[in-house]
Amino acid sequence: MRRRLTLAEYKKGVLSGDRVVLSQAITLVESKLEEDAELASQLVQEILPSTGNSLRVGITGVPGVGKSTFIESFGNMLLENGKKLAVLAVDPSSQRNKGSILGDKTRMETLASNKKAFIRPSPAGNTLGGVAAKTREAMLLCEAAGFDVILIETVGVGQSETAVKGMVDFFLLLVLAGAGDELQGIKKGIMEMADGILIHKADGENKSAAKKAISSYKSALHLFPPAANGWYPQVLTASSYTKEGIDEAWEMIMKFESQAKTSGYKEENRVSQRLNWLEENLQTLLGNRFYGDPEIQKQLDKSKEQVAKGEVSPLVLARELIGLFFRNANQLK
């Protein structure tokens, strides 16, 4: 059994950019064991002063749009320009063992072999929003390790695949052309939140269709108000196969970054994200404490059948259980 690292060892390893220790630190924050939770929270607090200097980019898109292929081409371009890159790729989870089932490292072989790149696949589990439960913590650890750009690849796109927007500086939506209705399958919510749209796989016979699709997406975007910083999302085409449009995608992100910094929007956005993160942690911790109460669990198991049969209102039972929970908490004082 491998020796457990101390807080000081985790901190030193992460801050020095040790990729082995960084991987172990992310495993620590992802752990659901109670004995790991305290150490994980201490580690995140310790490295906090060294975070915040990376450019955070969220990437989402429908299945089959080529998110991983794009990230490999885009990532290699960034490495050639001297950037250190971290990729946090969220995979669908196996319902049998809850592990990651796609393995993005196998789809980003060139990127994964580069010492200036760090790729971490994580299973989505039961977390909605296209991200893993501890993606934010993993992102902060990567920032503390000295990575310039952090790409967060979501599990897919849909009504719930939007949580990544709340943790990145730029949100990129990858779409396809030539599949009938250009906007089919793209939810209004995700379109409205995108800072940029990239029509991917714009090569071969699909190149012409991709160029034609630009006007369709631009027209759709005009239905939405501009972002808080006055930015109007751009629509570009790109091919990871021919590498056309990859540089332009980065130029778009850099233009957005410059405008966000100058206007003060970037810091305002991050302040809002940190406060939302606090709310999410409070809800998670309260939920864990509630369901971890043996008496609550006993009463819940006992009364579930009554709810299922329609004999007791779910609202009534929920209020009773909440009341029981707080009575138990007061008795412990």
Indicate if 52-262 has the same CATH topology as 1-50.
Answer: no
To 5 degrees, how large is the angle CA 23–CA 29–CA 31?
100
Quote the CA–CA distance of 173 and 175 in Å, as a whole number.
Answer: 6
For CA atoms 108, 111, 114, 118, the dihedral sign is negative
Count CA within 13 A, CB hemisphere, residue 257: 16
Give residue 248's pLDDT.
Answer: 97
User: Which is nearest to 224 in space by CA: 246, 194, 263?
Assistant: 194
Q: What is the CATH number of domain 1-50?
A: 1.20.5.170
Give residue 132's pLDDT.
Answer: 43
Cα dihedral: 64, 70, 71, 72 (round 10) = 110
Count CA within 13 A, CB hemisphere, residue 304: 6
Residue where the block lists tokens 């390790």: 145
Quote the CA–CA distance of 156 and 63 in Å, as a whole number.
Answer: 6
Domain locations along the chain: 1-50, 52-262, 292-331
Is-contact 114 77, C-beta < 8 A? no
Residue where the block lists tokens 């196996």: 94
User: Which is nearest to 281 in space by CA: 97, 134, 113?
Assistant: 134
State pTM to two decimals: 0.86
Give residue 161's pLDDT.
Answer: 56
Give residue 299's pLDDT.
Answer: 92
What string of pLDDT tens digits covers the 333 residues of the chain? 567 899 999 999 999 999 999 999 999 998 888 889 899 999 999 999 999 999 999 998 887 889 989 999 999 999 999 999 999 987 644 334 444 434 445 567 788 888 889 999 876 444 433 344 688 999 999 999 999 999 998 866 554 456 788 889 999 999 988 654 445 445 566 788 889 999 999 999 889 999 888 988 888 888 777 777 788 899 999 999 999 999 999 999 999 999 999 999 999 999 999 999 999 889 888 988 899 899 999 999 999 999 999 999 999 999 999 999 998 877 765
For domain 52-262, give the fold.
Rossmann fold (3.40.50)
Is-contact 179 148, C-beta < 8 A? no
